[in-house]
Every structure is written in structure tokens, then in C-alpha cells.
Amino acid sequence: MNRFLDQKKDNWQRLEDLLEMMKVSGIRALSRMEVREFGDLYRRAAADLAIARAETRDPKLINYLNSLVIRAHGKIYRAEGQGASLIIDFFARDLPATFRKNWRYMAIAFGVFAAFSLFGFIATWVNLDFTHFVGLSGITEEITSNDHWWTSLNKSNQTGASFIMSNNILVTIRAFALGALFGVGAFYDLAFEGARLGSVFAACYKLNPPFGNALASFVIGHGVIELSCIFFCGGAGMMIGYAIIAPGDLTRAQALKKKGMDAAKIVVGCACFLVVAGTIEGFLSPSELPAYVKVATGIGTGIALYSYLLIAGRNSGEPADQGLADN
């Protein structure tokens, strides 16, 4: 009996310690290694209880082990039933915190897109043939003929909105995936899409200014969220590429795992944001509502998005300039 106690008591005490750590935040209070250790200690304690019941007649020991196993089982069972709370925690805390921690990558992606948008606008204003270079052959004919192609979306809102959501999600995932090519792929995709956008608006305002105003009115309602998601996913791709190039004190595998988890959270969040953007683009943007309604929608959704990302889930222990730290 004494030998059994001497061999097992350290494991029981360690399981007690882990249970104490889990009192406030549950299983989230443990690291991944501690979670694995907790599961192993729980299984050992259950086996020890079976042995104690079969081979000893000490009611105190049996009661103690029974209580310990029941408490550990309760924590495991509760963790398995936390699917909904995990989703809530992801959006309430994990996603915005991950964005703030890695904001520099998104800022770089925005800078690349904005710089090439300006370049595309200037290049097209100087020479309309630049539209062919960015894959916009035939766009000048549509502009001069005043063909508002986007109004066709209103003829089949549900179908159009579904297609737009799917297409937008694919575009942002592509920007993310290309970032794995040492970040160069994401840079190229952002630069090309930026140049295309700038080129379209330059051609519109040079050939048919009212057409340019109509296009801007169409884009503004959904564009803030949509373009932001492209920046975010492009930045997430750059995170992967940078982890390969400069893993810091970690091995490349460790750096990829660390940044890969952060990048995946951002991409999942963007997929959800794009459902909102696709709905606006399918229903509101091509509608006959006044331009000021669409402008207000774009500004309002932009304020809501960035307020959420910059403020939600922030606690007193999180530094305001967390993104400046090298994570």
C-alpha cells in the first residue's frame, strides 16, 4: 500500500495542480503540452482508482481518487461541449487580437496595393493602352458606350450575391496562398490587382466622367470591406513567406507553425467578412438607391470593421503598440 502511494502521489498532485489552474478559464488556461499531460494524468488516475478498488480497502484513498477522477472528467466533458463558446471566443477575442499582433503585414499589403493603384491610374491617364497590359481589353469600348454592366446583378440578386461571395473568397485565398512563395506571390497579386483598379477608374474619368462616378457609387458600398479583406489575406500570405525567410530564434518549421496559425485565423475571419461584402454587392451596390446611401454604407461598414479589429477583446495587459513587437 505504501509503495503504491509513493509511486503514484506525485502524479495525483500534478493532476490537482492542473485542475487548480483550470478553475477560472477551463482548459484554455493550459498550454498544449499541459493539455496532453492532463489527459495522460487523468487516464492514469482512472487506472489507479480501479487498482485501489480491487486491491485495497482504504475508503479514504478510494474516495480521494474517485473525487479526483470525477473532477478531471468534468473538465474534459465540459471542454468537449464548448464548441459554441470557442466560436464566440474566436470572434470576440482571438481574431481581433491576432490582427493587432500582425498589423504591420496588413499595412504593407495596403501600401503595395495603394502604390500600384496610383501607378495604374497615372499610367492609364497618360496612355489608355495600359488597360491592355492589366488584362482590361475592351473596357474602353464599354465605357464609351455607357454600358453599366454591374446593374445586371440586380436582375438576380440571390444568384449574383452567391457568385460574388464565392468569387471574393477565392480572390482573397489566392492572395494568401501566393504569399507562401516567400511573400513575392502576394506582392505580385496585390500589385496587379491594384494596378487594374487604378486603370479602370482612370479610363472611366478620362473617357466618360459620369460613368466613373456611377462606377465609384457602385464600388463604395461593398468596397471598403472587400478591399480590406484582400489586404488582410495578402498580409497573411506575407506572414507565411516571412516566416520561411526569417524564422528568427525558431526553426523554420516552428516559425511556420506559429505564423501559420495566425494567418489561418485571419483568412477564416476574412471569409466571414466577405459574406457581408458579397451581400452588399449583390443587393445594395447595383440598386437604384441614392449614391449617399451607398457612401454611408461604405463608411459605416469600414468604421465598424476597423473598430472591431482594433478594439474588440483588448484587455489592460495588451500593449497599445503590440503590433510593433516582433512576434
For residues 266, 272, 277, 278, the Cα torsion angle rounded to the nearest 10 degrees is 130
Phi-psi region of 26 (alpha: psi -120 to 50; beta: other; left: phi over 0): left
What the block records as the C-alpha cell of 324 is 510593433
Residues whose CB is less than 8 angstroms from the CB of residue 117 and which lie 6 or more positions away in sequence, other chains included: 194, 195, 197, 198
Tell me the per-residue pLDDT of 136-160, one tens digit each, with 9 for 90 and over.
888 888 888 887 766 665 554 544 4
CA angle 254, 171, 200 (to 5 degrees): 135
Does residue 284 contact residue 207 with C-beta atoms inside 8 Å? no
Tell me the per-residue pLDDT of 49-92, one tens digit each, with 9 for 90 and over.
888 887 777 888 888 888 888 888 877 766 555 556 667 878 88
DSSP string for residues in 280-299:
HHHHTTTSSS-HHHHHHHHH
d(CA 239, CA 236): 5
Tell me the per-residue pLDDT of 193-246, one tens digit each, with 9 for 90 and over.
889 889 999 999 999 999 889 888 888 998 899 899 988 988 888 888 888 888
Does residue 249 contact residue 201 with C-beta atoms inside 8 Å? no
Average pLDDT over residues 19-33: 73
User: Would you state the pLDDT for residue 316?
Assistant: 44
Does residue 32 contact residue 49 with C-beta atoms inside 8 Å? no
Tell me the per-residue pLDDT of 213-228, one tens digit each, with 9 for 90 and over.
988 888 899 889 989 9
Residue with the three cell numbers 500589385? 191
Mean pLDDT, rounded, of the chain: 81
User: Would you state the pLDDT for residue 123?
Assistant: 95
SS3 232: helix
User: Would you state the pLDDT for residue 94?
Assistant: 86
